[in-house]
Amino acid sequence: MIDHYGINCSDLQASARFYDAVLGVLGYTRQMDVGVAIGYGPEGHPQFWISAWQGEEPNREMHCAFAAASVDAVQAFHATALDFGAESLHEPRLWPEYHPGYYGAFVRDPDGNNVEAVYHRASPDADG
């Protein structure tokens, strides 16, 4: 439904390194780089953009969930984010309160945004 969206980053290069890594383990890559903005997504379609923030006031936190292809991909996303210094908000686990099979992990990106990787078809024993 959504064609694309973006967030502002106080340090574009730090955010680019972070998103290159964490989106890379989910199978997404840089599709466009126009200097002040970088678009990520599947081949040929930048769907998520990061842009340089020039404002004086701090950014407001946003939440973004990226689709993962498996439980292992969610775990790799979380581990990679931690390797890049991200704060873990929620370790990878099932979230049955959302719906059966919802497996996700949540971290803070370099600008403090709540970023998630989610897989929607996890087995009930995915946490075990």
CATH code of the domain containing 112: 3.10.180.10
* pLDDT score at 55: 76
pLDDT digit string, tens, across residues 69-97: 999 999 999 999 999 999 999 999 999 99
Range of the domain at 24: 5-53+61-119
What is the DSSP annotation of the chain?
Answer: ----EEEEESSHHHHHHHHHHHHHTTT-EEEEE-SSEEEEESTT---EEEEE---SSPPPP-EEEEE-SSHHHHHHHHHHHHHTTPEEEEEEEE-TTT-TT-EEEEEE-TTS-EEEEEES---TTTT-
Structural domain count, the chain: 1
* pLDDT score at 127: 81
* pLDDT score at 59: 65
* pLDDT score at 4: 83
Q: Does 125 map to a domain?
A: no
Q: Does 124 map to a domain?
A: no
pLDDT digit string, tens, across residues 19-50: 999 999 999 999 999 999 999 999 988 999 99
pTM for this structure?
0.83
